[in-house]
Structure 1
Amino acid sequence: MKKYVLFFFTLLFSIQISAQYKPWTSAQQPLKEIDALKKQIVKPNFRKKDYLITDFGAVGDGKTKNTEAFKKAIEKCNAEGGGRVVVPKGVFLTGAIYLKSNVNLYVSDDATILFSQDSNDYPIVFTRWEGMECMNYSSLIYAYEEQNIAVTGKGTLDGNADLDHWWFWCGAKQYGYNESRPGRQNPARAKLHEYMAEKKDPRERIFGDGYYLRPNFVQPYKCKNFYMADVLVKNSPMWNLNPVLCENVLIERVKVVSHGPNNDGCDPEACKNVWIKDCYFDTGDDCIAIKSGRDEDGRSIGKPAENHIIENCEMKDGHGGVVIGSEIAGGAKNIYAIGNVMDSKNLDRALRIKTSSSRGGTIENVFFYNTKVGAYKDAAVLFTMFYEKPGNFIPTIRNIWVENLQVKDGGKYAVLSNAYETSPVTDFTMINAKIDGIEIPYKVDFLKNVTLKNVTVNGKPLTNFK
């Protein structure tokens, strides 16, 4: 009897969820949603009090290690009610920086925070690595369950990674790895996958020295009201900006230039209410990749990426401009990319949605509007449900709206889709798209409820995918 009752409530719940889904019928709907969302995302306010790190013993000679000076300044600022921890002109070498509530780390003009290349300067903390929870090296800038925190100023954050430090840990020869030097992440990465599949307590998944899992650059974890503005971010060991399970995130006028392995520009992960605007990305991986956790960890936590605006950003090199996935097991909904510019022969795709049946989850309500693209290599719009290994959790991709897309010197495809017959990409709309310089107009398999209006590829109307 209990079995049938459980089945009934499960069926009822699935019907209710399905009933909530309604595809857009015009661009006015998501545009109104964007206007309402912008009013919810606000920058935190800080007490008008400065704490100069040189008053705590910091020396900006690029050689003296200033980890303790940063720690003392941040702790005092936090204890006294908050304010700005100011980094003046100079090059300040440091290990990991932990941001506390109500602290704005302000990097002045002509100031550089240069991060140590010694892994011993990064304590083991609770973190996410490629969407999996574990204990590993602290990110270069880290915070956990803090609120009202910021990194601002027109100075530079230099992760100090290169072919001889951090990057070769990925195990790829093009990033400096060779058999004679220690350091390769593959065994530890496989072990972390095992721990996740076994659902081992994340705090017992302990890595660090000898495992070679590179730290991310900036990772606020379970924080509220995170703000980042104006800084230059470069040479990250791995992902650059990676807020995890955060709410109310505003990132503006940040420039990310980092061409190492897995050097994604910005990876908001399982976050709610995110606004990334007026930023510049030139990266070794995806420019912006929206995520919600990998496989078992993403599904068990069950927090989608929700309510994201990506506005007036510029993308150069990268695997994708605006990307959703691949660590997207928690799902994604209400993703709005408006007014962005992309142009590079080393940019693979403009809009990239990548998932797999090891992830599952639902990706829905993606609005790609007023986008100008110069050159790219692979596809202007890409859907794939076969990224990495297969599994038993068929994903859903639905309500994808592309409008006012201009491509001058495109790559191989205009639209590329690889989906399951049992789970086609559903409700795909493309309106007012002019896509030129294409080798093959499209390569698609399973699409359902497709609307094409005023779409041209190489000057010829595209009215269907047959």
Structure 2
Amino acid sequence: MAHRLSRRQILGVGLTAAGAAAATPFLTRAASAGTAAPLAPGAVQATLTKAIPTLPWAAANDIVAATKLPMFPDATFDVTKYGAKGDGTTDDTAAFAKAITACNAAGGGHVVVPSGTYLTGAIYLKSNVDLHLNSGATLKFSGTASRYPTVLTRYEAIECMNRSPMIYAYGETNIALTGSGTLDAAATKSWNTGSDRAYLESLIAKGVTDPHKRVVPGSGHHLRSTFVEPYNCDTVLIQGVTLRNSQFWQIHPTLCRNVTVDGVTTRASFKNTDGCDPECSDHVLIVNSDLGGNDDNIAIKSGRDADGRRVNTPSQNIVIVNNTMKGPWGAVTCGSEQTGGIRNVYAYKCVATGTRYALFIKSNTRRGGFTQNINLDSFVGHGQQLAFAFAQMNYMGQTGNFPPQFGNWNITNCTADHTPYAFKMTGLGSDHIKGLTVRDCTFTNIGNADLLSNVDGVSFTNVTLNGKPDNH
């Protein structure tokens, strides 16, 4: 049932001719877990909805150039040919699985979802498969818990076995979720509940280090599942789609490499519904997107406490370009789950409106980790509720023996208005923030002078605060 995909059908994927060789897998763990099959000849490579401009950092340009986009054969697998009804009431879960399996077995291509409303449980993506939602297509995720199998995932950066995210892949290579359709998780609120992280922490305290033995379903405890989660995957594209009514973190690439989030819209009103949270991932592009949710817009993470030290994998080499962010917490947040460390983050030409912070960096001595080489340029903040840039090493008052390492933060060519502080950053008396450079920035209608405590290596050049030089 494979058919060629027209340019009209492909919509936001935007393809250009490329070679037929498959991208080399880079799987950090359990490399045999995926369903990699030989990529069929004649594959073409995806392109971005809008090209990334030349960035003001050579290292960031290198990251963009090195981050691989997936490639797919020009073949389509229409889900309606595999039994999907798209009538909003028929369970189409099996039809999606059949279409994806057929596409994977044929060497890859595009599983196309025509206009309609498709009731479905969890969808598992396989290697060399692009799940493409045409205009007018809505995936309506089911309120029946049994349609979400138990998989290896994370809850607030702790590995565990829990009900599958709505879109999930493990150990897969060369995958995509694209198109102009919508994914709606409103109905999952009937089962997608709970925030009992203490249950997982109690298992870890008892010495349960194997996450496969931290099984949540059937335990009497409840933890929410994320919305879209490629786990331990290489070469991932999430492009063009709209996510709405998530019950937890919306886009959560974990232990992945070569991830591109492009032209995506996220909307959710439930608590802790961050827009995009790359975790323990390397070479990540978040571009051209409208990121909204009821928490952070982008929150970069790398594991939590003892479990984060067990995995010990940083998030690094992350480029964030041409995005809009809308409240209520951090536009770009690092932490607090940053035990494995965060480094080499570059954010350029983004606009944050009404968030508490444009840049929010947080950890504590229980969490530990590091947040280093964080760079913002041409970032615009409007009406931040608390500060343009905020950092703390005592988040939630939690303490331990792992002082975080903060520093080498560079903020250039940025503007902000109508916020209580331009900068409010506090290190510890025994653990200072080391390195803050601010250059060529303008801050207007700011309520207070900067508050910098236990911050070393501060350099402000050509920075104005309410029309006057902001010197340190």
Tell me the TM-score normalised to structure 1 length.
0.87
Q: Are the counterparts in 1 of residues 144 and 191 from structure 2 also a CA contact under 8 Å?
A: no
Q: Are residue 87 (structure 1) and residue 113 (structure 2) matched?
A: yes
| Matching residue of 1:215 | 225
C-alpha separation in 2, matches of 1:354 and 1:196: 23
C-alpha separation in 1, matches of 2:187 and 2:66: 36
Q: How many correspondences in the alignment?
A: 416
Could you tell which deviates more after superposition, 434-443 or 350-359?
434-443
C-alpha offsets along residues 83-111 of structure 1, whole Å, 9 cap, x if unaligned?
Answer: 11111000001000000000000000010
| Matching residue of 1:442 | 450
C-alpha separation in 2, matches of 1:417 and 1:165: 41
Q: Are the counterparts in 2 of residues 161 and 236 from structure 1 also a CA contact under 8 Å?
A: no
Q: Are the counterparts in 2 of residues 218 and 242 from structure 1 also a CA contact under 8 Å?
A: yes
| Matching residue of 1:75 | 101
Please point out which of 238, 246, 250 is paired with 2:248: 238
| Matching residue of 1:256 | 266
C-alpha separation in 1, matches of 2:328 and 2:247: 16
Judging changes above 3 Å, is the alpha-carbon distance between structure 1 residues 157 and 443 closer, same or farther for their aligned structure 2 residues?
same
C-alpha offsets along residues 388-427 of structure 1, whole Å, 9 cap, x if unaligned?
Answer: 3211100000100001111132x22111112212211111
Counterpart residue type for residue 412 of structure 1: P
Correspondences of 1:371-450 after superposition (within 5 Å): 371-388=379-396, 389-409=398-418, 411-450=419-458
| Matching residue of 1:454 | 462
Judging changes above 3 Å, is the alpha-carbon distance between structure 1 residues 197 and 329 closer, same or farther for their aligned structure 2 residues?
farther
Please point out which of 38, 42, 52 is paired with 2:68: 42
Report deviation, 1:199. Answer: 4.1
Q: Are the counterparts in 2 of residues 404 and 433 from structure 1 also a CA contact under 8 Å?
A: yes
Report deviation, 1:443. Answer: 2.3
| Matching residue of 1:53 | 79
Q: Are the counterparts in 2 of residues 287 and 320 from structure 1 also a CA contact under 8 Å?
A: yes
Report deviation, 1:261. Answer: 1.0
C-alpha separation in 2, matches of 1:66 and 1:333: 42
Please point out which of 309, 313, 316 is paired with 1:306: 316
SS at match of 1:321: strand
Counterpart residue type for residue 106 of structure 2: E
| Matching residue of 1:369 | 377
| Matching residue of 1:291 | 301
Judging changes above 3 Å, is the alpha-carbon distance between structure 1 residues 288 and 199 closer, same or farther for their aligned structure 2 residues?
farther
Q: Are the counterparts in 1 of residues 280 and 313 from structure 2 also a CA contact under 8 Å?
A: yes
C-alpha offsets along residues 107-130 of structure 1, whole Å, 9 cap, x if unaligned?
Answer: 000100110122222111111111
C-alpha separation in 2, matches of 1:227 and 1:211: 33
Please point out which of 154, 158, 169 is paired with 2:180: 154
C-alpha separation in 1, matches of 2:207 and 2:305: 11
RMSD: 1.6
Counterpart residue type for residue 421 of structure 1: G
SS at match of 1:382: strand
C-alpha separation in 2, matches of 1:441 and 1:256: 34
Report deviation, 1:166. Answer: 5.4
Correspondences of 1:85-124 after superposition (within 5 Å): 85-124=111-150
C-alpha offsets along residues 5-33 of structure 1, whole Å, 9 cap, x if unaligned?
Answer: xxxxxxxxxxxxxxxxxxxxxxx997111
Report deviation, 1:196. Answer: 2.7
Could you tell which deviates more after superposition, 131-140 or 190-199?
190-199
Report deviation, 1:372. Answer: 1.1
SS at match of 1:38: helix
Mark the runs of 5 or more structure 2 residues left unpaired by the alignment: 1-53
Report deviation, 1:161. Answer: 5.0
- List, as ranges, runs of 4+ consecutive aligned residues in structure 1 with deviation greater than 3 Å: 164-167
C-alpha separation in 2, matches of 1:29 and 1:80: 39
Mark the runs of 5 or more structure 1 residues left unpaired by the alignment: 1-27, 170-183
C-alpha separation in 2, matches of 1:66 and 1:324: 38
C-alpha separation in 2, matches of 1:199 and 1:51: 46
% identity of equivalent residues: 39
C-alpha offsets along residues 147-203 of structure 1, whole Å, 9 cap, x if unaligned?
Answer: 0000000010111258x6457x3xxxxxxxxxxxxxx433xx211112234441211
C-alpha separation in 1, matches of 2:323 and 2:64: 16
SS at match of 2:73: coil
Report deviation, 1:334. Answer: 0.4
C-alpha separation in 2, matches of 1:185 and 1:283: 18
Counterpart residue type for residue 404 of structure 1: N
Report deviation, 1:35. Answer: 1.2
C-alpha separation in 2, matches of 1:264 and 1:245: 18
Report deviation, 1:211. Answer: 2.1
Q: Are the counterparts in 1 of residues 77 and 111 from structure 2 also a CA contact under 8 Å?
A: yes
C-alpha separation in 2, matches of 1:30 and 1:245: 28
Q: Are the counterparts in 2 of residues 30 and 367 from structure 1 also a CA contact under 8 Å?
A: no
SS at match of 2:413: strand
C-alpha separation in 2, matches of 1:362 and 1:30: 24
C-alpha separation in 2, matches of 1:298 and 1:307: 19
